[in-house]
Amino acid sequence: MPFRKPDRLFSSAVTECQDSARTDTRCLKTPLACGKRGWRITRSQQIGGVLTPFPIFLYLIVFSIQSVASPSQPVDAQALLNLLGRVERVEVAYQETVESDLIDVPLGTQGRLVYQAPERIHRLSDRGDGFELDGERMRLISDGRVVHELTISDIKPLEAMIGALRATFAGDFATLKANYRLDYQSDREHWILDLGSEGQAFAGLFERMRIVGHGATIETIDILESNGDRRQLRMRLLAREPAGLD
């Protein structure tokens, strides 16, 4: 049966291997070839006018498939926030740990957090404590009931941290850039966005906020406060709109 080239992109001189005992380092046995019959590559494939060994050609195909299957993370902070800004609603299960010099054992809570674009956040622990944030108004919740209301701009440390979180969820690059120092890094698996308040309007209110995730998913939020306390929020995605946003 004659060998037919699939296209004009590459060409080769191919002869049918009649005897498997005949050894040749250039002989390629494919899984489709039976026992003693296969195709012998007697000349390197020519791609684009350059002679390229056939195994390298196969490697390039495999590498291209892997690249498509494992897309990289956003290239910079603005690209990341543009992606996060496409999220209309997200619900996560969270676990929070608070470490402080004032306590011997870290405090831990867990519950659910819901973000609704553009600026609503509802967080409620399993014990019924939390808050509702809508614009500048925050309602504090205890035992499942609203017990107090306040305006976050009246409390600068609260405004700094809540403002950073809300702007990140909303993908508000302009607000973050105006009020915080941004440091972004990424690899193929995750991205890291560091927010610092040094030299900005909220200088000295917290040292650093580190947000880690992949694609449009935020996984952890780590806050180092100016007094040395540390808060870490780990989140597991439960639902997101629009669906399929990665």
Question: Would you give per-residue pLDDT tens digits along the chain (246 residues)?
Answer: 554 444 433 333 333 444 444 444 444 444 434 444 444 434 444 444 444 444 544 434 433 333 333 357 999 999 999 999 999 999 999 999 999 888 888 889 999 999 999 889 999 999 999 999 999 999 999 999 999 999 998 988 888 888 889 999 999 999 899 888 899 999 989 999 999 876 555 666 678 899 999 999 999 999 988 788 899 999 999 999 998 887
Whether this prediction's pTM lies above 0.75 is answered by no
CATH class of 77-241: mainly beta
Cβ neighbours of residue 81 closer than 8 Å, sequence gap 6 or more: 168, 171, 172, 173, 176
- Measured between alpha carbons, how far is 83 from 96 in angstroms, rounded to an integer? 25
Residue 16, CA atoms < 13 Å, CB-side half-sphere: 10
- Measured between alpha carbons, how far is 102 from 187 in angstroms, rounded to an integer? 37
Structure-token pair, residue 53: 């060994």
Cis peptide leading into residue 118 (ω within 30°): yes
Q: What is the pLDDT at residue 21? A: 43
The ranges assigned to domains in the chain are: 14-69, 77-241
Q: Which of 62, 116, 115 lies closest to 92, judged by CA? A: 115
The SS3 assignment for 180 reads coil
Q: How many CB atoms lie within 10 A of CB 132?
A: 17
Q: What is the pLDDT at residue 204? A: 64
Kindly give the interhelix angle for 156-170 and 77-84, rounded to the nearest 10 degrees.
80
